[in-house]
Amino acid sequence: MPSKKALVRRPSPRLAEGLVTHIEREKVDVDLAMEQWEAYTEALRVHGWETVEVEPADDCPDSVFVEDTVVMFRNVALITRPGAESRRAETAGVEEAVAALGCSVNWVWEPGTLDGGDVLKVGDTIYVGRGGRTNAAGVQQVRAAFEPLGARVVAVPVSKVLHLKSAVTALPDGTVIGHIPKVDRPALFPRFLSVPEEAGGHVVLLGGHKLMISASAPKTAELLADLGHEPVVVDISEFEKLEGCVTCLSVRMRELYA
Ligand SMILES: NC(=O)NCCC[C@H](N)C(=O)O
C-alpha cells in the first residue's frame, strides 16, 4: 500500500504581504485564510492523507504555498531555488521535513531557478513550465535529477499566468485540463480538455475518482462530475487573492521508501 502523506505549512501571520504578479492586489483576510487552510488540510485527511506540517516560517509571507519549495519524484525530493528571491528562505524548513521522512534529497543550484508550481507530473512525464519563476537552467536541473530515474521531462512555455500549474493540471486518467485563454500551448499535451473557468484548471488528485477543486470553479466541478469524477470542493478565496491554487497548499507524497 503506497504511503499517502501530504506536506503542508501553516500560513504566516504576514500572509497578506504575499507576492502578487499577474493580478491586482486585494485585501487578504488572514483569519479567514487560517480557517480555509484548516478546512483544506481536513479535506486531505478525510480522504486518507496523513498531513505532515513543515515547521512554520512566520517571516515568509508566501510560505503556506509549500508546493513551490520541493518537487518529489518517487523517493527523491528536489529542493527548489524559488524564482522570487523573497521566497528562498522557505526551503530550509522543507528540506528538514523531507529528510525526516526518509527522502533522498537533491537541490537546484544557482543559476537555476525553479518553483514547484511549474512542475506537473503525469505518470512518468514531468512537464516543467519555463516562465517567470523557472529558468532554463532550472529545467535542465529537473532533467538531471529525474531522467536517470526514468522520468521524461517536457519543457512548456508559460507566459500568461504565474506557474504552469496555474494554467493546467491533470485528471487521474492523464487528461490535461486548463482554461484555454490561460494556456500558452495546449497542443503540447497529448490529451487536453478545456474547462470553463481559470480555477477549473487546478485539481488535486485525492485518490480514486476524487478531485479537490476550488469553490470558484463551480461550472468545471459540474463538468468533471458529469464525466464521472467526484469533485471535493474547498473554498480558498484568500489564497487565490495571492495567486495560489488548490495544488500549491500541499505536496502529496505517494512513493516514500520508508
Ligand atoms: N504553486 C502555486 O500556485 N503557488 C502560488 C504562489 C503564490 C505566491 N504569492 C507567489 O507569488 O509566489
Contacts of 210 (CB under 8 A, 6+ apart): 47, 229, 230, 231, 232
For residues 80 and 114, the answer to whether their CB atoms sit within 8 Å is: yes
For residues 69 and 91, the answer to whether their CB atoms sit within 8 Å is: yes
Which of the 8 DSSP states describes residue 58? Answer: T
What's the confidence (pLDDT) of residue 256?
A: 84
Q: What is the CA(50)–ligand 1 centre distance, in A? A: 23
- What does the DSSP assignment read for 2-34? ---EEEE-PPPTTGGG---SSS------HHHHH
Q: What does the pLDDT average to over 89-116?
A: 98
Beta bridge partners of 152: 125
Cell 531555488 locates to 81
Q: Does the pTM of the predicted model rise above 0.90?
A: yes
3-state secondary structure of 204: strand
* H helix or E strand, kind and range, residue 231: strand 230-234
Cell 521566497 locates to 87
Q: What does the pLDDT average to over 34-56?
A: 98
Which of the 8 DSSP states describes residue 70? Answer: E
Is residue 1's pLDDT more than 90? no
Name the residue of 23, 69, 242, 245 whose CB sits within 8 Å of the most ligand 1 atoms, as the mutation to test its pocket. 242
Q: Which three cell numbers stand for residue 8?
A: 503542508
How crowded is residue 98: how many other Cβ atoms within 10 Å of its Cβ? Answer: 25
What's the confidence (pLDDT) of residue 258?
A: 64
Residue-wise pLDDT for 51-86, tens only, equals 999 999 999 999 999 999 999 999 999 999 999 999
Q: Which three cell numbers stand for residue 34?
A: 487560517
Active-site residue 163, yes or no?
Answer: yes
How does the average pLDDT of the chain come out, rounded? 97
Beta bridge partners of 178: 168, 194
Which of the 8 DSSP states describes residue 217? Answer: -
Q: Which three cell numbers stand for residue 92?
A: 530550509
For residues 128 and 118, the answer to whether their CB atoms sit within 8 Å is: yes
Is residue 208's pLDDT more than 60? yes
Q: Which three cell numbers stand for residue 43?
A: 479535506
Q: How far apart are CA 50 and CA 129, in angstroms?
A: 29
Beta bridge partners of 72: 77
Ligand 1 site, CB within 6 A: 18-19, 21, 62, 65, 67-68, 84, 87, 117, 162-163, 165-166, 242-245, 248
Distances (CA, A) of 123 to 38, 67, 120, 175: 30, 18, 10, 11
